[in-house]
Each structure stands twice: as structure tokens, then as C-alpha cells.
């Protein structure tokens, strides 16, 4: 499923399990492509847009004691320059390339966070309880 939205100042992604890929938008609009993967239960996925903030949610039903199910909601997102980005996920990966955002806030319980910037951001807040964090030094330099 692919959707497009204009006039977005903030992107908030809250997913239980999955991969979030974020790239710059050449058109100035937000475009989201959602892919759901599952073995027993279909994970829900929702997009809401209150007042200039686009919120993406996706979750997986609790598998109980089975622990053998496969479930994920993957989001491929293009975001315009200057859009604030906040990501929260229980299990998964965040890959953000060539960010032009002034700030990035990410919290993952398990997984990996990889982010690169075209210019130094004002603020990066990254919390990862277990996994890998990679914030390579940008080729862009400030004055």
C-alpha cells in the first residue's frame, strides 16, 4: 500500500516489529509504502494526519506462548527537507539515509539504527536497548 501526503512537518512512526527505511523526498511530499508480512495473524497498519503530523502505526498481535509466528510491518518513507522524524519500535531496524532533518529521535528495544545526514543535525536522540547503533560522520561540515 502506498500513500502520499503534503504539508507534513513531523513524521512519527510507531511499530511493533518491522523495518523502517527513510530517504529524502525529491517532490516535497511525504510518500509511505507499507508492506505487511505474517504467518498466522495479519498485522494492522494505520496512517493518521492530524495538524501537519503524520503518524504511522503498525503492530503484531501478541503470539502468546507460541513464539513461532512471523509478523512485521515495514515502512519505506520519503520525507521532505526539514521534517522532524520520531521513530519507536519494539523489534526491527531503522535505516535513514541522507537525512536533511534538523532532528532525529529514535527508540528501539531490539534491532539496529543506522542514520546518515547530508548536513549536521541540530539534535540526534537515539536509544537502543539491544542491538547496533551506527551514525556515520557526515561528509557535510558546518562552518
Among 6-10, 66-70, 126-130, where is mean pLDDT lowest? 66-70
Q: What's the pLDDT at 62?
A: 61
Assess contact for 110 and 119: CB atoms under 8 A.
Answer: no
Specify the residue for cell string 527513510: 22
Distance CA(11)–CA(53), nearest Å, equals 6
Q: In this model, does residue 124 exceed pLDDT 50?
A: yes
Q: What's the pLDDT at 138?
A: 53
Q: In this model, does residue 86 exceed pLDDT 80?
A: yes
Q: In this model, does residue 142 exceed pLDDT 70?
A: no
Q: In this model, does residue 106 exceed pLDDT 80?
A: yes
Q: What's the pLDDT at 143?
A: 42
> Model pTM?
0.76
Q: In this model, does residue 13 exceed pLDDT 60?
A: yes
Mean pLDDT of 79-86: 84
Mean pLDDT of 54-79: 75
C-alpha cell at 8: 507534513
Cβ of 13: how many Cβ atoms within 10 Å? Answer: 23
Assess contact for 113 and 126: CB atoms under 8 A.
Answer: yes
Q: What's the pLDDT at 140?
A: 46
Distance CA(18)–CA(33), nearest Å, equals 13
What percent of the chain is predicted at pLDDT more than 70? 89
Distance CA(76)–CA(126), nearest Å, equals 20
Query: Which of these, 26, 30, 35, 25, lies nearest to 3 by C-alpha position?
Result: 30
CA 73 to chain centre: 11
C-alpha Rg value of the chain to the nearest Å: 15
Amino acid at each position: 500500500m502506498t500513500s502520499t501526503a503534503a504539508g507534513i512537518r513531523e513524521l512519527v512512526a510507531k511499530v511493533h516489529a518491522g523495518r523502517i527505511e527513510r530517504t529524502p523526498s525529491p517532490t516535497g511530499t511525504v510518500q509511505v509504502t507499507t508492506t505487511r508480512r505474517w504467518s498466522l495473524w495479519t498485522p494492522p497498519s494505520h496512517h493518521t494526519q492530524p495538524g501537519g503530523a503524520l503518524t504511522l502505526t503498525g503492530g503484531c498481535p501478541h503470539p502468546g506462548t507460541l513464539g513461532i509466528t512471523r509478523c512485521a510491518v515495514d515502512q519505506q518513507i520519503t520525507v521532505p527537507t526539514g521534517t522532524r522524524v520520531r521513530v519507536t519500535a519494539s523489534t526491527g531496524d531503522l535505516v535513514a539515509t541522507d537525512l536533511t532533518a534538523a532532528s532525529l529521535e529514535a527508540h528501539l528495544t531490539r534491532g539496529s539504527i543506522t542514520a546518515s545526514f547530508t548536513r549536521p543535525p541540530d539534535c540526534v536522540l537515539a536509544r537502543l536497548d539491544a542491538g547496533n547503533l551506527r551514525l556515520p560522520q557526515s561528509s557535510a561540515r558546518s562552518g
